[in-house]
Structure 1
């Protein structure tokens, strides 16, 4: 076996392109492992964890090509595959009398006012493009993450002055008049409107309401306005949430509005509650936090207010004989809100849990010198957190980092139960089970670790809900539509925590 690592100074491609390049090269004959990535700190940690030695002088402005080849592989041919995969493909539009716009501002000048502008550029540049859109009279959806919070506040204040809606930053999911954007699931339309300071929290509600709506008249969603995960923080104070609520309240076709959020700042939650009471349209608040309802209970409440009884949420692959193989619960999530929800439930049942998005700073979890995100207590990791996506595609697109940590968690004899989420929808990985199911099977090869999965999606999603579910069940997972239901099952399996001894982190 031979290895090749080269640094391409000043070369650049976005993280999704490099993911596709890596996969294309990985499929080449004689290639044992391939990673083509920008030299960000996180990517260098991943490369080191894969056993590659990367020069110390590598910077985030450099492209790293790391290859592990069989002894008989042709290095030149593999590098030619890398180069070919990096060449951008451009559609042949034929002759045109109008040159395409070169800047956002020039494109907006050609676009009717009121059209939604979608911004997906590196976070440091996102607000500049968004301001151009607002100035031109457009609402904005900012898919970009890693946007400084001070810039978010300034942008949303500016938008409020101009009567425009800013969805984001880090807005991965929206449904606009029945059209899904970003990671949105495909759902039947209806009289429910959602305002979401949470991408995967919104998707959980979309999936649950769509499932219920198969048997219930009028249950569906035409509007799901994402506002960014920080909108209900003490800094941003619900600027976009108020504008989204105002718009849905004015829509005669909206019968009920649901607000879903990661744990908000308490004072902002109180302000939002007061504001919601002034609206003519009923508002159901689904604000996660200790002592608050989980998202499935929120969906139950929505159905109740619409005059319906909630169904039994589906579970597949349940094994009554399943038993924990160790004392610790490991949660590995691509959805931040789903991680928050499960972590809150686990903390109530098990006591303090460690996380990279901790419920309190003293429980913060960071990768160790080997890149492990494990600890000697229960752990919950959000692989979509900004710190883990710098220079990488979101884990709903690129599952590499989670799959690596899944293998490490399975190899840890302390791991008793694995709790995962899989989130379907437009823009997400086209076949997540194709990689996750073999990883689950490998995790259970030496000992039957219970693996509980919340599969968030609908039967209309391009990945195929039934196909994904069946593949995961065949690999040994128990699959739930409800993330809260999956979490309760994992907690039942792991059992109550023993009282912590003095000085223990448990």
Structure 2
């Protein structure tokens, strides 16, 4: 047994060519194993673990192609390496049969209808290719991984400012106007739109929707880091807005691994305002409820697909009477019931951020001083700090009445949420005390919402309590979930929409694309009937990183 290696200095081949060359070497007589890789540290480690890393290969740099052959004899190994050029030339001959432009600019001249650029070049070059695509005002499907986080943020911000989509980096899947990009399943067209920060999650839901007899309008990957706090779900917000405006999409599915809490709050707030049913599966993220207004929370990818299909024929939620605009930006919840306060925290934390309480769900939500609210605040006024030497607020409204006045006097407060609990042993007539204070505290832009807990059999006369509270100006609910859904909807999207909305033509025009990188993506698109042009992409400076940096600096002058 003998191992021989060869280093091709500064030579670049895309990953598909490397894979094909490795497979071809394995078919040669006497060859036991082979490795063909760009000589990065990670790839060399893998070769070493496979027993293929030779001492001479240690001189290879990350920009070099490393070819290693393990054979039955030294002669067989050397004969195999001698055929590398012949094997590569077969590939080049097939490529040379059709002209392939080297640059995006040249490719656009050949296929001016192209609205998308697919990028699957090595990560250290991918950001520059994406910048060039955005400069040409093309949407980008960025499959490449190992793109620096700062580059991702910059690229997404640039795309958003121009009304363009940048799906990725590390975006493996998308379906646009019936054409699959990257790793996509063949699914029937339909009315379910999908936004996914998980490629295989997106594929799973799309496939299940198909299996359940429905179809997919569009499925848009965002890249795995899009819902991280530093990125802020830029692409998720864009694609959600786009599907909300798309007439072919009736139901939207949001899929992600656990997002940053503040990012989830803003995205779910935008989803509530989108005007369509939205199924949410944030994998590993605790669902606040089964349903929250137009939001339907799933606990698995399969359930997300089932909910989406069921909502296609589902009834819409009854519309509530219109309410005047809130002028304050903060919610203050003053609860007499501890469990109601905690449930409200669980639900409202999904869309309101930052949210604080004296009974927090997470330590980061702990209110510094229960006597003074900050941002969105929910208080359990039956907590120990409020009941030392006092009756419970179910019996004594005094502290709540004072706090209502305090919160209403703050112009930053837009809504005060209260629970009113009826029944045996509690205050005999809570509305008699609450209604006058609420009526006196009302002002333009401040809304009072009341959750009324009780029955018509209770001694307080539930109908009378409801009538007096509504007469004082309260919006009243007897269903806590409906009340909390309403609260979420009233505060609207926590972030402004994209400065330049993505035009619907991104989804509706016939697919035409340029492909830089993995050739199988090009072959797949052509097989689906899309127009596509494969670039003969080469790394700048033949892959020499130092020289490429020098050229980049010169080009900026």
Question: What's the TM-score once normalised by structure 2's chain length?
Answer: 0.51
Greater RCO structure (CA 8 Å; 6+ sep)? 2
Preserved contact between residue 259 and residue 287 of structure 1 (Cα < 8 Å):
yes
Deviates more, 1:120-129 or 1:275-284: 120-129
Preserved contact between residue 30 and residue 72 of structure 1 (Cα < 8 Å):
no
Judged with a 3 Å threshold, the aligned counterparts in structure 2 of structure 1 residues 181 and 90 are, in CA distance, closer, same or farther, namely farther
Residue in 2 aligned with 1:206? 206
Judged with a 3 Å threshold, the aligned counterparts in structure 2 of structure 1 residues 153 and 169 are, in CA distance, closer, same or farther, namely same
Residue in 2 aligned with 1:280? 275
Preserved contact between residue 3 and residue 74 of structure 2 (Cα < 8 Å):
no
Residue in 2 aligned with 1:176? 176
Matches within 5 A, 1:85-484: 85-87=87-89, 88-91=91-94, 101-108=101-108, 111-112=111-112, 115-213=115-213, 219-292=214-287, 293-307=299-313
SS for the counterpart of 2:34 is strand
How far the C-alpha of 1:146 sits from its partner, in A, is 1.0
d(CA) in 2 for partners of 1:72, 1:129 = 42
How far the C-alpha of 1:264 sits from its partner, in A, is 0.9
Which digits, 9 at most, give the CA deviation of each residue in 1:71-130, with x for residues without a partner? 4963443123322222342447879xxx86432134335654771122222222222222
Residue in 2 aligned with 1:377? none
Residue in 1 aligned with 2:64? 62
Preserved contact between residue 5 and residue 68 of structure 2 (Cα < 8 Å):
yes
d(CA) in 2 for partners of 1:125, 1:164 = 20
Task: Report which of the two structures shows the higher radius of gyration computed on alpha carbons.
Answer: 2
Judged with a 3 Å threshold, the aligned counterparts in structure 2 of structure 1 residues 134 and 285 are, in CA distance, closer, same or farther, namely same
RMSD: 2.8
Which digits, 9 at most, give the CA deviation of each residue in 1:368-393, with x for residues without a partner? xxxxxxxxxxxxxxxxxxxxxxxxxx
How far the C-alpha of 1:427 sits from its partner, in A, is 5.1
Preserved contact between residue 2 and residue 74 of structure 2 (Cα < 8 Å):
no
What residue ranges of structure 1 are gaps of 5+ in the alignment?
Answer: 214-218, 309-425, 431-459, 462-506
What residue ranges of structure 2 are gaps of 5+ in the alignment?
Answer: 288-298, 315-518, 529-557
Deviates more, 1:103-112 or 1:16-25: 103-112
d(CA) in 2 for partners of 1:5, 1:14 = 19
Preserved contact between residue 29 and residue 73 of structure 1 (Cα < 8 Å):
no
How far the C-alpha of 1:46 sits from its partner, in A, is 1.7
SS for the counterpart of 1:279 is coil
How far the C-alpha of 1:277 sits from its partner, in A, is 1.0
Residue in 2 aligned with 1:453? none
Judged with a 3 Å threshold, the aligned counterparts in structure 2 of structure 1 residues 112 and 282 are, in CA distance, closer, same or farther, namely farther
Preserved contact between residue 183 and residue 427 of structure 1 (Cα < 8 Å):
no
d(CA) in 2 for partners of 1:63, 1:133 = 27
Preserved contact between residue 113 and residue 137 of structure 1 (Cα < 8 Å):
no
Judged with a 3 Å threshold, the aligned counterparts in structure 2 of structure 1 residues 39 and 135 are, in CA distance, closer, same or farther, namely closer
How far the C-alpha of 1:61 sits from its partner, in A, is 2.3
Judged with a 3 Å threshold, the aligned counterparts in structure 2 of structure 1 residues 265 and 258 are, in CA distance, closer, same or farther, namely same
SS for the counterpart of 2:59 is coil
Residue in 2 aligned with 1:78? 80
